[in-house]
């Protein structure tokens, strides 16, 4: 997801509006303070979509790893 390494080392708060994290000392959320309600809605939808895409990618990798293991096992046992 939209994780900026720089943000990890300092105090961050979660924005009530867009649910993204931002540095506490900024006071205002840099992600959504200039966005309209509609734009915040779209931003959240996009983040949600990206998160589910990452989950799917993880599952696909797991599946590929599983298939590779089975293939290896079959090849090894046939020799
Ligand atoms: Zn925000």
pLDDT of residue 1: 54
Q: How far is the CA of 11 from the centre of ligand 1 (A)?
A: 16
Q: Nearest-CA neighbor of 31 among 12, 18, 50?
A: 18
Measured in angstroms, how far is the CA atom of residue 1 from the centroid of ligand 1?
A: 15
Q: Provide the pLDDT for residue 3.
A: 56
Give residue 53 CA to ligand 1 midpoint distance, Å: 22
Q: Give pLDDT tens digits for 21-56.
A: 999 988 899 999 999 999 999 999 999 898 888 888
Residue among 40, 43, 15, 12 at smallest CA distance from 29: 15
| DSSP label at residue 24 | G
Q: Return the pLDDT at 68.
A: 97
> Measured in angstroms, how far is the CA atom of residue 17 from the centroid of ligand 1?
5
Domain ranges in the chain are 5-78
């Amino acid at each position: 997801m939209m994780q900026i390494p720089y943000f990890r080392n300092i105090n961050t708060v979660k924005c009530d509006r867009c649910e993204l994290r931002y540095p506490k000392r900024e006071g205002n959320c840099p992600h959504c303070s200039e966005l309209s309600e509609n734009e915040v809605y779209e931003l959240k939808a996009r983040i949600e979509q990206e998160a589910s895409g990452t989950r799917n990618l993880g599952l696909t990798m797991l599946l590929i790893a599983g298939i590779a293991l089975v293939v290896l096992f079959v090849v090894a046992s046939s020799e």
